[in-house]
Amino acid sequence: MRQSSLAATMVALAAFLFTAGCEKKPSGAAGTPRKTATTKSAGQTVRLTFWHIMDYEGPREVLATAVQRFEQAHPGVVVEVVPIKNDLFKQKLATEIASGSPPDVFHTWGGGLLAAYARAGRVLDLSAALEQDNWRESFHRAALNFCTAEGKVWAVPLDISIVPVWYNREIFRAQELDPPRHETDLKALCIKLRAAGITPFALGNKEQWPGCFYLIYFATRRGGMRTLEAAAARRPGASFSHEAFVWAGRQIQELVALRAFPEGFNGLTDDQARRLFFTGRAAMYVMGNWLVARCRTEAPAFLERLDCFTFPAASEGAGDAGAVVGGTNAAFAVSSSCKHPEVAVALLRELTSARVAKEWVAIGRLPAIGTEVTEQALPQPARRALELLRAAPAIQLYYDQYLSPALALAHKETTQALFAGIMTPEAAAERMEQVARENR
């Protein structure tokens, strides 16, 4: 009878719901056999959740093996590793922190957002832990600075990344071009490339952050790092309407007018821009040195054509001609709601150990851990980036990480508006200043 089969279905459903409701045991890093508690207190397993953004081949495996080693060295501890794509990660983390259930250990870029977490008491102060065994000394000073707020350290960096201008050697050779020294040379270069039917820069500005590199560089070259620092700290007399920012906006709009960027760039994703670059249809690409790691897996044949130079200086202005834009693209913090802080900190030690640093180098990235990086271990283009890093007097942290969340958003939006040509440089600078004033 139909009714009894319906009833049977309902019972089955209920049973299924019940079993489905039971928590699926999370597996540790890929393929780890379950560790049963041995020496831990009262036979309880310690569970940690670890979220990071390295969800692609290369870095993902490095972190996974590091976690595996940690679990083997600490029986009774199970770490659930969750790699999440970049922008999804930001959104998920924001929701979790707002609803009071953040992961135990998570990725951070340092800067203003980390400082906001610190001020709200959401992350653990690691300063004391750093004093033990000279752990602090193993880190690159600038990278650690990015993780510092109000004199205390809230995260530890694994990675240090810089943003040079990558270029296609073959194209430059064919067009008989040299790396530009000043922005005037750069513009001439763009005109020449366009005339030859090549897109000068690969740019996919849909997510707004790739275009920001240009603004930051121009502003830093013209006004120096202190201009931004003063404006962000709201020092008397300092403002986001400073001439350096306006000039930077103007340079961007001039480049757009010269068609330095691909058609429809404001709607292209960074992936699509990278594709243009790797297939030889764009000559240059302003991007972080993680590009080398991507090149290794996505287009290994392109590695030999890849090289980089530092962003051109401003022909006039009292800025920092040698500074590079960069940051730490893998730093880890511990949530203050973590139930086992000592274990979490131990995990951090493993994640920033010399062993992991070596593996990080092997995939083409630069470690923030100061052990001697053997140049031979790096793929050639990355060695060049390392040279630039060593030669740079200072590193300017990406604005969208440096500034507070509200200002960071305004920065991304005004910059995209500049690229779209719907805002004048003066208006964009003024808007930044206005947001800064509203959100002291």
Interface positions, 67-126, toward another protein (CB under 8 A): 80, 82-86, 88, 90-92, 94-101, 113, 116-117, 119-120, 122
Query: Does 268 participate in binding another protein (rule CB under 8 A)?
Result: yes
Q: Are 203 and 261 in contact (CB under 8 A)?
A: yes
Taking the least distance from each CB to another protein, the nearer of 43 and 280 is 280
Residues 420-439 that bind another protein (CB under 8 A): 420, 422-423
Q: How many residues bind another protein (CB under 8 A)?
A: 72
Residues 282-301 that bind another protein (CB under 8 A): 298
User: Which one of residues 15, 34, 43, 57 is an interface residue with another protein (CB under 8 A)?
Assistant: 57
3-class secondary structure for 373-406?
CCHHHCCHHHHHHHHHHHHCCCEEECHHHHCCHH
Residues 328-387 that bind another protein (CB under 8 A): none
Residue 390 CB, nearest approach to another protein (Å): 30
Q: Are 206 and 268 in contact (CB under 8 A)?
A: yes
Residue 356 CB, nearest approach to another protein (Å): 22
Q: What is the DSSP string of 185-245?
A: HHHHHHHHHHHTT-EEE----TTSHHHHHHHHHHHHHHH-HHHHHHHHTT-TT--TT-HHH
Helix axes 209-223, 405-420, angle to 10 degrees: 90
Q: Are 381 and 290 in contact (CB under 8 A)?
A: no
Element (H, E) at 141: helix 141-146
Residue 291 CB, nearest approach to another protein (Å): 12
Strand partners, 284: 167, 201
Taking the least distance from each CB to another protein, the nearer of 176 and 301 is 301
Only one of the segments 142-150, 321-329, 339-347, 416-424 lies at the binding site for another protein (rule: CB under 8 A); that segment is 416-424
Residue 98 CB, nearest approach to another protein (Å): 4
Residues 195-254 that bind another protein (CB under 8 A): 205-208
Query: Does 22 participate in binding another protein (rule CB under 8 A)?
Result: yes
Query: Does 181 participate in binding another protein (rule CB under 8 A)?
Result: no
Residue 245 CB, nearest approach to another protein (Å): 17
User: Which one of residues 150, 176, 263, 372 is an interface residue with another protein (CB under 8 A)?
Assistant: 263
d(CA 357, CA 378): 12
- Longest CA–CA span in the chain (Å) reads 89
DSSP-derived pairing of the beta strands 282-286 and 199-201: parallel
